[in-house]
Chain A
């Protein structure tokens, strides 16, 4: 039992968790034909059958039930504001399954040359709204209201000590839906994690219909025809966003240190902070000449690297791997798409740089609050 817990504790470490997710993800949600074939070969599409749902649900629920036996797990999961997130996990599993199972079903129908489930022969196939839709809606609303009532009775809303601006709780956490952003603060400065990145997310989301110009797959669940777009979306939303929220909520304890779900939140625990800026790597560790006085010179390595990543890489990609997309999308759509992708990719990239090299910042100009 204890060893199982410590295994869970171990593998829920962001390093391992994120790596695992990154590795497994493309096989479950294949972005390209190649992955798709392997997905089929590994019979991973079985996940989206009734049995798959059963397995996933049973595993998740039994994990929760098992976990609730543990004091530490219980005290975190049952914190009133964390309860919705547990619910969210279950809902996500269910709705991912729901959409994917329908998508795979439709894919199969399309493959057989049949029309998809949602296909209808306009206008004959229409039904009147009254009473079918209105009634269903009414029932949903009543059920939901009933659910809200029981939820409200069963779980009192939290009210902690009165506000004390002089003493911050450890850890101080943002509302759960922003914990993804707060988790990014570990790797980026607030100007990026808190301002620029959210702006990119919002803009990126709004830009989706303008970048994904493929008219296929409108109005019905499908996967095969939209592999890349769906997998990118699922990666961004399901993984980056929700997994970071889960990590931020359940696995971050005092001093924003990592704690496994069954670990005690010991505020005395220390983590060795040995992070180094790129400029220090270059000038102090390798060249042993000390940091130059001039800021530009000092940060030159980082600036060059970032320039290559943002300025040169898209061009290179357009010429090589992404040539097809470049041609499909045209220069303006392509550049928006690639910039968004690149900034999205910065996050995992920076994570790994931190984990592997203890890299603090690529560019560090604290004089102007500019750390990147």
Chain B
């Protein structure tokens, strides 16, 4: 054995390999298999050991994992799309056409769009599974709440991205959505109670100062809206969702790993 090492084994026992992969070598022993998980920054999201049913697809549906994976797909494809997309009302639509037709592997746009739909669905199903297995129960209440926030953020990410093609489908979907913000009680110009926030002849909640304006950056959907949604979609919301994801994953481990029957 010691005489005849395969090429891979040679490589795996070399300094470079061992410096990168702490465990070194192919994990064969129990200890090595544990170390491989413990020593990898990516794998150590997982615990070292799990209850048997937690490995069963029938139980987990793998929806949480998939949601995270899709998030990664969306991040990568989104970054790539950003290289060819300009968020201005002059260019957005035509850039989108060029992405579809001219940019090499413009299929990135399809991957991004369908990925977004898929992520909404997987997050829903993940929530469904967590509810059906009663996994929100103590001590996981708070992580459930985080999960709800993640669901909302996912929807917002999808919603903000929906505007970016700047076609009829996009702006009217956002118009329907953003008009609702205009109806926010007290804070929307067309919401109940906004007329009460006035002194003398001055109305303090108007079309240029209400919740809808804060969302779309103008009285109408336009340049400012596109830019706002773009920034939220590409930087703002991903930044927030990553923080919550970190907490979510951290709490899974801290709350005792995957839920089990007591």
Number of interface residues of A (CB under 8 A): 95
Contact of A165 among B46, B149, B181, B221 (CB under 8 A): B221
Q: Can you list, as one digit per residue, whether each of B89-100 has a CB less than 8 Å from chain A (1) or not (0)?
A: 100010011001
Contact: B148 with A202, CB < 8 Å? yes
* A210 to B137 alpha-carbon distance, docked (Å): 8
Bound Cα distance A103, B129 (Å): 11
| Contact B134 A222, beta carbon cutoff 8 Å | yes
Contact with A along B181-206 (1 / 0, CB 8 A): 11111001011111110000000000
Give Cα A371 to B190, complex, Å: 11
Other-chain residue from A103, A165, A169, A206 in contact with B132 (beta carbon distance below 8 A): A103
Q: Judge whether B217 is part of the interface by a CB distance below 8 angstroms.
A: no
Cα(A160)–Cα(B93), bound, Å: 10
* Chain A minimum-CB-distance residue to B177: A174
CB of A196 within 8 Å of the partner chain: yes
Q: Which of A168, A175, A193, A196 contacts B185 (CB 8 A)?
A: A196
Q: Select B134's contact among A132, A169, A217, beta carbons within 8 Å.
A: A217
Query: How many inter-chain contacts with C-beta < 8 Å in the A-B complex?
Result: 290
Query: Are the C-beta atoms of A122 and B51 separated by less than 8 Å?
Result: yes
Is the Cβ of A102 less than 8 Å from the Cβ of B51? no
- Tell whether, in the assembled complex, residue A140 and residue B66 are in contact, meaning their CB atoms are under 8 Å apart: yes
Whether A296 sits at the interface, judged by CB under 8 Å, is no
From A168, A210, A237, contact of B175 by CB (8 A): A168
A163 near B129 with CB under 8 A, answer no
Would B109 and A157 count as touching, CB distance under 8 A? yes
Do A156 and B148 have beta carbons less than 8 Å apart? no
Closest chain-A Cβ to B195's Cβ sits at a distance in Å of: 5
Say whether A130 contacts B194, CB under 8 Å: no
Looking at A134, A176, A233, A369, the one whose CB has the most chain B CB atoms below 10 A away is A369
A168 touches B169 (CB 8 A): no
Binds B, one of A36-44, A54-62, A83-91, A286-294: A83-91
Query: Within residues 218 to 246 of chain A, which ones have a CB less than 8 A from any CB in chain B?
Result: 218-222, 226, 230, 233, 237
Q: Determine the distance from Cα of A70 to Cα of B88 in the docked complex, in whole angstroms.
A: 40
Q: Please give, as numbers and ranges, the residues of chain A lying within 8 Å of B195 by CB-CB distance.
A: 367-369
B93 to chain A, nearest CB (A): 5
Q: Does A333 contact B (CB under 8 A)?
A: no
- Asked whether B250 is an interface residue with its Cβ less than 8 Å from the other chain, the reply is no
Flag whether A129 is at the interface (Cβ < 8 A).
yes
Size of B's binding interface in residues, CB under 8 A: 102
- Can you list, as one digit per residue, whether each of A122-137 has a CB less than 8 Å from chain B (1) or not (0)? 1101111111111011
CB proximity to B under 8 Å, residues A99-158: 99, 102-103, 115-120, 122-123, 125-134, 136-137, 140-141, 144-145, 148-149, 151-153, 155-158
CB distance from A156 to the nearest CB of B (A): 6
Q: A122-B260, A127-B52 are in contact. Are A219 and B167 (CB under 8 A)?
A: no
**Contacts from A to B (Cβ < 8 Å):** 81, 84, 87-88, 91, 95-96, 98-99, 102-103, 115-120, 122-123, 125-134, 136-137, 140-141, 144-145, 148-149, 151-153, 155-165, 168-169, 172-178, 181-182, 189-191, 193-196, 202, 205-206, 208-210, 212, 214-222, 226, 230, 233, 237, 365, 367-371
27 intermolecular pairs with C-beta atoms under 8 Å apart: A81-B117, A87-B121, A102-B58, A102-B59, A118-B261, A125-B52, A127-B52, A128-B48, A130-B36, A133-B46, A133-B50, A160-B169, A162-B93, A163-B166, A168-B175, A175-B177, A189-B183, A190-B183, A194-B179, A195-B184, A195-B188, A208-B144, A209-B141, A212-B136, A212-B137, A218-B135, A218-B261
Q: Which residues in B have some Cβ–Cβ distance to A below 8 Å?
A: 27, 30, 33-34, 36-37, 43, 46-55, 57-59, 61-62, 65-66, 69-70, 73, 89, 93, 96-97, 100, 107, 109-111, 113-115, 117-118, 120-121, 125, 127-129, 131-138, 140-141, 144-145, 148-149, 151-152, 155, 158-159, 162, 165-173, 175-177, 179-185, 188, 190-196, 220-222, 258-262
Additional A-B contact list (13), CB under 8 Å, known A191-B185, A209-B136: A84-B121, A87-B121, A118-B261, A127-B50, A134-B46, A137-B62, A162-B167, A165-B175, A190-B179, A191-B188, A220-B53, A220-B260, A369-B194
The 3 closest A-B pairs by CB, nearest first: A194-B180, A152-B110, A209-B141
